[in-house]
């Protein structure tokens, strides 16, 4: 049931679900088995084996994810990092060159800095809004262009349509990490991205209880991603696939509530005299506000801010908050705060962005609590 005439809320519930349902079950069952019988005369392509991602629970999840990202095909991976590294492996070989725009999640940054060189890949990091830098970085060996929808923790939005267009013009595979946006906010295939990656550990699952990743794209590209994945052995366990498929049912509701909470908190903090600076693309003061407004439906669940009074004030504030946990993930139903400079690797920022990350910067990941309660909690904590 992946009828793209349906609205996203409907797709989140029905997209990719088999009709008629398996044995009439409204909930697709968990197939925990590792291997399935092969019919006489079947080929290697018909083998259903857990590492190949062809167990029925894995396949069901793939259909669901493809529907939500508006893609022909999807493959689930054991983590977000497995999704990103496998997607890159499917297009880059020794001697190839990658253009990487902007700043990256800490794990991605570490992979690019510590591992890509050993694989024989060369990389140029460019500004995600500066076309001239992209042109200068281009080499005969350039194969792919990697970007994140919304960067962390400074919450910037690059010229994403420009990246997709530039990649197409120069025969590069465009790869985007859409974790911070989710398909509720932004569906990158619609503006021409070739491969879309997610850490489903975050909002796609939404309940902070599994690790998973996703890559979506054309059937041909995903076949090649799945082939790399089975070679390296990073498929998603069927029980986690079941939980992720369950989490997806409420994705639209959760992300909209998170976006609304993030906007409400951003506006509250921006008007508070004990807050020096708030960074959220939903605020008109954000340098990428116009671009985000034209590309996105909502502005995401993550904001960052700097309290007046430096690191000591930031630490005091985080200790005084009673609702958000101090923890460094995002996208779950519970609100989280973290001081990126305190948790090493700048909680995901690259060294490039880290230079712009103040010691007293706090990142807030909105959960689905009542906005009034979160605001009241912040109001008390800021006055402490
Ligand atoms: C968390 C995250 C990842 C890595 O995902 P894991 O599931 O932890 O491997 C990649 N990119 C972004 C933007 C993330 O937030």
Domains and CATH numbers, the chain: 8-248 (3.40.640.10), 252-383 (3.90.1150.10)
Calculate how far, in angstroms, residue 37's C-alpha sits from the geometric centre of ligand 1.
35
The DSSP output letter for 237 is P
Tell me: pLDDT of 177 over 90: yes
For 88-125, give the secondary structure using H, E and C.
Answer: HHCCCCCCCEEEEECCCCHHHHHHHHHHCHHHCCEEEE
Calculate how far, in angstroms, residue 210's C-alpha sits from the geometric centre of ligand 1.
12
Mean pLDDT of the chain: 94
User: Does the beta carbon of 201 lie inside 6 Å of ligand 1?
Assistant: yes
Kindly report the protein residue whose alpha carbon is nearest to atom 2 of ligand 1: 199
Kindly report the protein residue whose alpha carbon is nearest to atom 11 of ligand 1: 105
Would you say 76 and 65 are in contact if contact means Cβ atoms under 8 Å apart? yes
pLDDT digit string, tens, across residues 16-38:
999 999 899 999 999 999 999 99
Considering Cα of 93, then 95, then 100, then 105, what sign does the dihedral take? positive
Atom of ligand 1 nearest to the CA of 83: 9
How far apart are alpha carbons 175 and 167 in whole angstroms?
9
- Predicted confidence at residue 43, as pLDDT, reads 87
Mention every residue, 6+ apart, whose C-beta is less than 8 A from residue 376.
none
Atom of ligand 1 nearest to the CA of 179: 13
The answer to whether residue 202 is catalytic is yes
Q: Binning pLDDT at 50, 70 and 90, where does residue 3 land?
A: low
Give the active site residue among 202, 254, 339, 363: 202
pLDDT digit string, tens, across residues 197-224:
999 999 999 999 999 999 999 999 999 9
How far apart are alpha carbons 223 and 227 in whole angstroms?
6
Tell me: pLDDT of 281 over 80: yes
The answer to whether residue 177 is catalytic is yes
The answer to whether residue 280 is catalytic is no
How far apart are alpha carbons 84 and 24 in whole angstroms?
36
User: Does the beta carbon of 80 lie inside 6 Å of ligand 1?
Assistant: yes
Q: Residue holding tokens 């041909």?
A: 220
User: Does the beta carbon of 205 lie inside 6 Å of ligand 1?
Assistant: no
How buried is 85 (Cβ within 10 angstroms: 0-12 exposed, 13-18 middle, 19+ buried)?
A: buried
Least confident of 116-130, 269-283, 333-347: 333-347
- Predicted confidence at residue 82, as pLDDT, reads 98
pLDDT digit string, tens, across residues 22-78:
899 999 999 999 999 998 988 888 889 999 999 999 999 999 999 999 999 999 999
Mention every residue, 6+ apart, whose C-beta is less than 8 A from residue 65.
16, 71, 74, 76, 204, 214, 216, 248
- Predicted confidence at residue 347, as pLDDT, reads 44
Kindly report the protein residue whose alpha carbon is nearest to atom 5 of ligand 1: 80
User: Cα separations (Å) of 213 from 62, 78, 197?
Assistant: 11, 6, 7
Closest CA to 130 of 154, 99, 155: 99
pTM of the model: 0.96
Closest CA to 365 of 319, 308, 302: 302
Kindly report the protein residue whose alpha carbon is nearest to atom 6 of ligand 1: 80
HSE-up (13 A, CA, CB side) for residue 62: 26
pLDDT digit string, tens, across residues 212-268:
999 999 999 999 999 999 999 999 999 999 999 999 999 999 999 999 999 999 999
CB atoms within 10 A of CB 309: 14
Atom of ligand 1 nearest to the CA of 200: 7
Tell me: pLDDT of 4 over 60: no
User: Does the beta carbon of 202 lie inside 6 Å of ligand 1?
Assistant: yes
């Amino acid at each position: 049931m992946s009828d793209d005439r349906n609205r996203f809320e409907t797709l989140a519930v029905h997209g990719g679900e088999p009709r008629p349902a398996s044995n009439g079950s409204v909930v697709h069952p968990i197939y925990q088995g590792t291997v399935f019988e092969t019919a006489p005369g079947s080929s290697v392509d018909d083998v259903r084996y857990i590492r190949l991602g062809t167990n029925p629970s894995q396949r069901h999840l793939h259909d669901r994810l493809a529907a939500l990202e508006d893609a022909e095909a999807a493959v689930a991976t054991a983590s977000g990092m497995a999704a990103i590294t496998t997607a890159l492996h499917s297009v880059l070989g020794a001697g190839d060159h990658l253009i990487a725009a902007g700043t990256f999640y800490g794990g991605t940054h570490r992979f690019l800095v510590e591992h890509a060189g050993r694989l024989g890949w060369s990389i140029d990091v460019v500004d995600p809004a500066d076309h001239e830098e992209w042109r200068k970085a281009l080499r005969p060996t350039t194969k792919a262009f990697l970007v994140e929808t919304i960067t962390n923790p400074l919450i910037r939005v690059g010229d994403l349509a420009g990246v997709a267009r530039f990649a197409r013009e120069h025969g590069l595979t465009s790869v985007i990490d859409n974790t911070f946006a989710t398909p509720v906010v932004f569906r990158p295939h619609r503006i021409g991205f070739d491969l879309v990656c997610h850490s489903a550990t975050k909002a796609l699952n939404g309940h902070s209880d599994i690790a998973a990743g996703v890559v979506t794209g054309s059937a041909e590209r995903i076949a090649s991603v799945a082939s790399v994945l089975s070679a390296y052995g990073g498929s998603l366990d069927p029980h986690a696939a079941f939980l992720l498929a369950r989490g997806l049912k409420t994705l639209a509701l959760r992300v909209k509530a998170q976006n609304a909470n993030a906007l409400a908190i951003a506006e509250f903090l921006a008007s508070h005299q004990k807050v020096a600076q708030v960074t959220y693309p939903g605020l008109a003061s954000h340098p990428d506000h116009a671009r985000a407004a034209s590309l996105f439906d909502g502005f995401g669940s993550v904001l960052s801010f700097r309290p007046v009074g430096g690191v000591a004030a930031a630490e005091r504030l985080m200790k005084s908050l009673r609702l958000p946990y101090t923890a460094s993930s995002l996208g779950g139903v519970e609100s989280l705060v973290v001081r990126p400079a305190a948790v090493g690797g700048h909680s995901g920022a690259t060294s490039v962005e880290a230079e712009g990350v103040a010691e007293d910067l706090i990142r807030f990941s909105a959960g689905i609590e009542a906005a009034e309660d979160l605001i009241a909690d912040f109001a008390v904590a800021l006055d402490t």
